[in-house]
Structure 1
Amino acid sequence: MSNKPVDAGNGAADEFDPTDGWGEVPEADRPLWARYMLDYCPQFLGPTIMTLIARGVVFGGTKIPEDWKETAAELHNAGFTPLHYYLLASLLSDKRRREELDEATHGHLFKKWYGNYPDFPDFRLDAEAWKPWLERIDRAESPGRALDHMLHGPFLPPLGAVFSVNGPTQVASD
């Protein structure tokens, strides 16, 4: 294979050496990290640059900004997969739209709080701060419920109650 640099717009896979900024992120996962970070980017670089990045990424390329690669490497080292990232970013995006996130209360969970582009919010998660979320979903907790614990603490209202005709009411919670 050639080591010739690949144009960002042609969609071809990039030829990277081990010191390219991806750290220990497996090569097979890099296209997914790149694609999911295009949807929920750690740094929005403006419409023109984002269009150039998108042309390559949507066809499986991995040519993305260093900041994105560093974020992927940090999250990978904390135990995240690309799908974990996409799921958490999607859940956080919903919370942000409903104005359930604020920097004073939740800023410690981010290395970079949401940017100034309202239609294209960029952010960077603090990988170590989100390890408890991963642990909760690894124990089969709902990702949304795990996020609520991360945002609001351990004492959430119960999920509901089960009423029985033959016995006591049981509270369903985590």
Structure 2
Amino acid sequence: MSAPEKIPSTTWHEKEPISRELRLLREELWGPIPPRERIQWSNALLDNPPTELSIMGKLQNTQLLHRDGIVMNRQWVAVARYWDDLGITAYEWLLQKGTLASNTPENTTPEEDPWGDCTEEERRAWTAATLRFPPMFLGATVMGLHDKHAKQTGITNSKGWIDLALEFRDAGFTPEEFIELNTQVRKFRKRGQRNTMITTTWGNLNKEYVRLKAQQWTNWLERYRAGDEPLALTEELLSPHWISQ
């Protein structure tokens, strides 16, 4: 028996050429926006869809998305073109959508500062802690832009992240204790099992993230500071709260 004929396959690094018609259409739609910024805008628009699309519309919109990461819906691209013409970047557009909270000195008064009375040192320490254990999933673009901004500036500007930090700070936790608690809790979380102490949030694309409630863990904090071994302590406190499924 002869060997089966090998059928050429196209992988991510062997992409089929884009047709001339599609290239021209893409240039017409996106105009002066550079290729890198087209991808940023495409992801921002996917995270915050300007319009609902039919099944056919979704197919047409993503004909280049899975190849080059660029959407092709005229209405969606028009949104990007409109804000780009005003000098607004995809990241700044996401800020305006309310996903992120601008906390730059020129845009925020002391009364409006989402960090309240936290010192700069505390803000940086809590930012590093919440980057390790984010409270929710906001979509790939928002998460990427947020993390890049937080790492560059040292201070997060996401309201959800700030709220998480302040909640645990107000309950008496330090950033290091927040990290220790979250590290231990995740050792016991398993797929298909539920525990009322391991609270979660549901973000974009139905992604579930562990998002603990600080007040439920103040006893853990007291005993941890008293010298209890953290792994055994966490297991003991979780034990009565498992839900049979």
Please confirm whether the aligned pair reaches a TM-score higher than 0.5, indicating the same fold: yes
Partner Cα separation in structure 1 for residue 157 and residue 186 of structure 2: 21
Specify the SS of the correspondent of 1:58: helix
Deviation at 1:22, TM superposition (A): 2.3
Tell me the CA shift for residue 116 of structure 1.
Answer: 6.5
AA at the equivalent of 2:227: A
Work out whether residues 23 and 70 of structure 1, in 8 Å CA contact, stay in contact via their aligned partners in 2. Answer: no
How far did residue 66 of structure 1 move? 0.8
Unaligned runs of at least 5 residues, structure 2: 1-90, 93-102, 241-245
CA distance in 2: counterparts of 1:134 and 1:65, whole angstroms: 26
Query: In structure 2, what is the Cα distance between the partners aligned to 1:57 and 1:132?
Result: 31
- Separation in 2 of the partners of 1:49 and 1:152? 36
What SS does the corresponding residue of 1:122 show, helix, strand or coil?
Answer: strand
Render the CA deviation track for 1:94-152: whole Å, top value 9, x for unaligned. 222xx28833xx22453xx254689x752321111100000111101111122112101
Using the alignment, how far apart are the partners of 1:85 and 1:76 within structure 2? 9
Measured against aligned partners, the alpha-carbon deviations of 1:70-101 in whole angstroms (never above 9, x if no partner) come to: 111111011111111111112222222xx288
* Residue matched to 2:160: 67
1:101 and 1:90 mapped to 2: Cα distance? 19
Corresponding position of 1:152: 239
Letter in 2 for 1:73: L
TM-score normalised per structure 2: 0.48
Q: Distance in 2 between matches of 1:24 and 1:145?
A: 35
Higher relative contact order (CA 8 A, sep 6+): 1
Q: Distance in 2 between matches of 1:24 and 1:78?
A: 15
SS in 1 for 2:156: coil
Distance change in 2, residues 1:71/1:148 (3 Å): same
Q: Percent identity?
A: 26
Displaced runs of 4 or more, over 4 A: none
Instruction: Give the alignment of 1:1-174 within 5 angstroms.
Output: 14-15=104-105, 17=110, 19-96=112-189, 99=190, 102-103=193-194, 106-108=195-197, 110=199, 113-115=200-202, 121-153=208-240
* Aligned-residue RMSD, C-alpha: 2.9
Q: Give the TM-score of the pair, scaled to structure 1.
A: 0.65
Corresponding residue pairs, total: 136
Normalized per residue, the structure richer in helix is 2
